[in-house]
Amino acid sequence: DQQVKQNSPSLSVQEGRISILNCDYTNSMFDYFLWYKKYPAEGPTFLISISSIKDKNEDGRFTVFLNKSAKHLSLHIVPSQPGDSAVYFCAASAFTDMRFGAGTRLTVKP
Amino acid sequence: DGGITQSPKYLFRKEGQNVTLSCEQNLNHDAMYWYRQDPGQGLRLIYYSQIVNDFQKGDIAEGYSVSREKKESFPLTVTSAQKNPTAFYLCASSQGLGVRETQYFGPGTRLLVL
């Protein structure tokens, strides 16, 4: 029972363009959402988070949008850079329960 | 240079054998976690520990065991009872237990069955 889904296993964008990574969840109890980034041979690292009381959180080139009614969140990277090429995991949480998506592999082409 | 180390990077298990995956952190974190990742799936929680000498089962604890005798160490044993152990295993830690606590991950151990 996957409560958090990232339906696009991979995404390829051109350097300088916008990257949009999507994530859907099913449990309406989730109230805190995170994005992690993973390079090959390394563990995931925290990127950005958002609480359910907000609909947007921005940190430099990274912005996370939350649409609670649609149970959907997205990560926007603008402008995309080759160093952003990695696997991105979204996670949703409630209380002490955290669920991860399967990840989306982003490739930014020079 | 603080962080989480996992060893080995690759581990091979024979049928009926127990194997232990190492996880060490020098971040002085209280909480530690073990996750399993399979192709096309998200990370799934195996066990977590909030404090030394205490640990709790996650969603897929069957066939696994852990110990937390020291704050910095949280080894995971994959027992022979785990019928499908081939996966990528990630260890993580956080300052406290709570979903708003950022988790820091190790590089992972890939377990393969011979």
Residues of chain B neighbouring A96 (CB-CB closer than 8 A): 97-99
Tens of pLDDT, residues B30-41? 999 999 999 888
CB atoms within 10 A of CB A75: 23
Has residue B94 got a pLDDT over 70?
yes
Tens of pLDDT, residues B51-89? 999 999 999 999 999 999 999 999 999 998 888 999 999
User: Is B59 exposed, middle or buried (CB count within 10 Å of its CB: 0-12, 13-18, 19+)?
Assistant: middle
Q: Does residue A1 sit at the B interface (CB-CB below 8 Å)?
A: no
Work out the minimum CA distance from A47 to partner chain B, whole angstroms: 10
Instruction: Kindly report whether the peptide bond that precedes residue B8 is cis, defined as omega within 30 degrees of 0.
Output: yes
Chain B residue nearest residue A44, CA to CA: B105
Work out the minimum CA distance from B107 to partner chain A, whole angstroms: 4
Q: Does residue A60 sit at the B interface (CB-CB below 8 Å)?
A: no
Interchain proximity A96–B90, CB inside 8 Å: no
Work out the minimum CA distance from A98 to partner chain B, whole angstroms: 7
Question: B84: which residues sit within 8 A by CB, 6+ positions away?
Answer: none
Question: B77: which residues sit within 8 A by CB, 6+ positions away?
Answer: B18, B19, B20, B21, B64, B65, B66
Nearest to A96 among B97, B107, B108 (CB): B97
User: Is B32 exposed, middle or buried (CB count within 10 Å of its CB: 0-12, 13-18, 19+)?
Assistant: buried
Residues of chain A neighbouring B35 (CB-CB closer than 8 A): 100
Phi/psi of residue A58, nearest 5 degrees: -125, 140
Encode chain A (110 residues) as per-residue pLDDT tens digits: 679 999 999 999 999 999 999 999 999 999 999 999 999 888 899 999 999 999 999 999 999 999 999 999 999 999 999 999 999 999 999 877 889 999 999 999 99
Interchain proximity A102–B41, CB inside 8 Å: yes
